[in-house]
Amino acid sequence: MTAASREAPPVAVFAGLSALALIAFALSLAIGPSGFGWPHAGEAGRLIFWEIRLPRAVLGALVGASLGVAGAALQGYLRNPLAEPTLLGVSGGAALGAVLAIHLGLTQTLSLALPIGGLLGAAAALLAVAALAGLRGGPLTLILAGLAVSATATALISLALNLSRNPFASIEMVFWMMGSLSDRSLIQVWLGAPLMLAGMAVLLLVGRALDALTLGEDAALSLGIDAHRTRRNIIVGVALSVGAATAITGVIGFVGLLVPHALRPAIGHRPGLLLPASLVGGAALVLLADIALRLLEPWADVRIGVLTALFGAPFFFWLVLKTRSELAP
């Protein structure tokens, strides 16, 4: 075998993605209604930088990275390119927790009621999924348990909206669920960041197992992979990273589906390498989407979850056309 037929290590892909994410992060710090550039003049400038732009940029990077790596991990584990982080039911649980916090009026007395409600909801969903699916067993039980928990959360969210007597609370719930990075304080970042970072670290550990699972479960076992540990790491990692991300920012869809999909060919379809690539790519995508929203803001106040859905949906059209052309005789 010649050196030419061997793939170059995907250093270029990682360098490009990292550069993109860094540029997006810097732009995110520089763009806002108070003008372009890093505000530093005076007390107001300092406040804008530390209290508004920095939390927003850090949160965008962390949430995007969480969604990207969690999507790549679930797609690799389930060996299904259509898997996405919401599949585990944890984001549904987080949304339910936050909606309940609004419904019960806790947001008016406690400033951190929303993220804390979200985290408790995510934790409850994790426990429910783990109890239902068990820490042993195959991917199918995990999907079913996630669906069951998601469906329950959706039903209860609808019930809360249905029973809400206060139209302002209903609007708050609906808007919260559309996802947003704005108006998050550094305290909220401190609340979510350790959980998201821990979740991502756990997910990065499963790369070898995901590579081995490419050959099916028997072959993966015979390559020395611990199936139970892999499953546990996937469940816990996704729950921590996506649960915390959703609790702080609301539901931001499609990132966890799109990013691994788009990057897969670039790293030679290797599920282990796709984890770090999607982590960086997810951060870049959410930061860029958030920058686009800020540029749009003078004309329309669009939520980030709405924007990702608007751009994510056509992806399915593209996928249908691609699959059709591949299946065509």
Partner 1 sequence: MKLEASKLRVELQRRDVLKGVELSAEPGEVTAVLGANGAGKTTLLRALAGLIAATAGEVRLDGRALGAWSRAHLARNLAYLPQERTVHWALTARNVVALGRLPHQTMGQRETATDRAAIERAIAAMDIAPLAGRPVLAMSGGEQARVLLARALAQEPRVLIADEPAAGLDPAHQLALFHHLAAFAASGRTVLVALHDLSLAARFCHKIVLLIAGRVLAAGPPAAVLTPAHLASAYSIRAEYRTIDGIPAVLALDVLP
* Residues at the site binding partner 1, with contacts judged by CB under 8 A: 1-2, 5-7, 9, 79, 205, 207-208, 211-216, 218-219, 221-226, 264-265, 268-271
With respect to partner 1, which residue has the nearer C-beta, 7 or 183? 7
With respect to partner 1, which residue has the nearer C-beta, 127 or 219? 219
**∠ CA(55), CA(60), CA(64), 5° rounding?**
150
* C-alpha closest to that of 212 among 224, 228, 204: 224
Tell me how far apart the alpha carbons of residues 154 and 315 are, in angstroms, rounded to a whole number: 24
Tell me how far apart the alpha carbons of residues 207 and 198 are, in angstroms, rounded to a whole number: 16
**∠ CA(150), CA(152), CA(155), 5° rounding?**
110
- Nearest distance from residue 141's CB to partner 1, in Å? 16
* C-alpha closest to that of 28 among 280, 256, 244, 292: 292
With respect to partner 1, which residue has the nearer C-beta, 43 or 218? 218
- Nearest distance from residue 325's CB to partner 1, in Å? 15
- Nearest distance from residue 220's CB to partner 1, in Å? 9
* C-alpha closest to that of 254 among 10, 113, 91: 91
With respect to partner 1, which residue has the nearer C-beta, 245 or 275? 275
Question: Rg of the chain over CA atoms, in angstroms?
Answer: 20
With respect to partner 1, which residue has the nearer C-beta, 39 or 207? 207
- Nearest distance from residue 35's CB to partner 1, in Å? 43
* C-alpha closest to that of 61 among 91, 14, 21: 21
Tell me how far apart the alpha carbons of residues 292 and 78 are, in angstroms, rounded to a whole number: 33
**∠ CA(188), CA(72), CA(93), 5° rounding?**
45
With respect to partner 1, which residue has the nearer C-beta, 35 or 216? 216
- Nearest distance from residue 222's CB to partner 1, in Å? 4
Q: What is the DSSP letter of 44?
A: H
Per-position DSSP letters for 220-276, written without gaps between them: HHHTT--HHHHHHHHHHHHHHHHHHHHHHH----SHHHHHHHHHTGGGTT-HHHHHH
Six-digit token string for 133: 């699916």
- Nearest distance from residue 143's CB to partner 1, in Å? 16
- Nearest distance from residue 212's CB to partner 1, in Å? 6
Q: What is the DSSP letter of 215?
A: T
With respect to partner 1, which residue has the nearer C-beta, 6 or 324? 6
With respect to partner 1, which residue has the nearer C-beta, 180 or 230? 230
- Nearest distance from residue 198's CB to partner 1, in Å? 17
Q: What is the DSSP letter of 87?
A: G
